[in-house]
A = this chain, B = another copy of it.
Amino acid sequence: MPMATLAAPCSSRHSLLHHHHCRLISPPASARLVRRGRCVRSYASSTREREAAVARMPRLAHRDVMLALAREAETRLGARLLPSEVPANVREFSEDEGRALGSVDVRRGAPGSSIDFFLEAWFHRTLPSGGAIDITALIVFLNGATDAPHFVMDLIQAGPSSLIILLDLLPRRDLPLHPGYIDAYYAATGADAHRRDVVERVPQARPYVSPSLLVRSLWSPTAVVVDVQCGEGGVARLEEIVRGQLASSAEAVLDVWLERCAGSVVEMKAEERERLVARDKMIIATDVEVNLTANLPKMFSADVSDRVVAEISKVFVGP
């Protein structure tokens, strides 16, 4: 099926109707309905759709790592995540005869949970030179029920042998003022060991210094913020690093987050909670703006990038 057909304009007029239908009908019919409009799908059908979409994408080790982590997190978060409400033409889009492909999916946290949203996204653009750029993100933000860190993994691959890795439990407090926060979420969780593993076991990893001073200010003291450069002919070596050290370290960080952060509830005064949530909105705007939305217009037509950016921007506004 040509991917371009998935990028047709989408109406949300039938969403309520589809909501119930999608849970009952078989996946292929569901998939057709979904493509005609916004729809909240069952876990099974959305999983099958996603698997089909992934099968249509060019294989990429770092995307496989993200997808495995995303499925692990979804399984363990279970009913704490609401079904996706992202329209089909944002969940999967393609242009330029498949040379530009992408997918963005967002699941809101269920009422009563500590989850704000769960965002997974990947973008692929084949370059005229024959190379490609691939950007992948898995971001799970918590809400004002807790001050526990968010989970963030951004992977930016501008060539077959180089990869920028940003992997962190993103802090939600002004750290110098909150040493107890550092102790609870970073020192006591062993988070630094996972950073050290990447830095020490991957000799090709160099510190990555973002051109944005604001982005440099977001990270925790245990963040993995590296640029892995394997050089000419390093394609196999990079794939080995991605499927080996990156996969295991990212899984370890996600495990810390799922065990110690995702279910956390912290008592706060209303004013403190408001400040925390306002800070979160600044942070997600910065992370998503710099790592995702700033890159989309370079990879896709204005139509597609506007539509995708608009959908991502809903994350900032909240449910």
Contact = CB atoms under 8 A, between A and B. Distances in A.
A218 B286 CA distance: 20
- Which of A174, A279, A282 is most buried by chain B, counting CB atoms within 10 A of its CB? A174
Interface residues of A, number: 23
B218 A282 contact: no
Contacts of A207: 207
**Copies of this chain, tallied across the complex:** 2
A68 interface: no
B213 A222 contact: yes
Most buried by B among A177, A186, A207, A222: A177
B175 A217 contact: yes
Nearest to A192: B213
Nearest to A183: B213
A233 interface: no
Interface string A173-199: 011110100100011000010000000
Interface string A276-289: 00110011001000
A268 interface: no
Contacts of A222: 213
Contacts of A279: 174, 176-177
Interface of A: 174-177, 179, 182, 186-187, 192, 207, 213-214, 216-218, 220-222, 278-279, 282-283, 286
Chain A to chain B: the 8 pairs with minimum beta-carbon distance, closest first: A174-B174, A216-B221, A175-B217, A213-B221, A182-B213, A207-B207, A217-B221, A177-B279
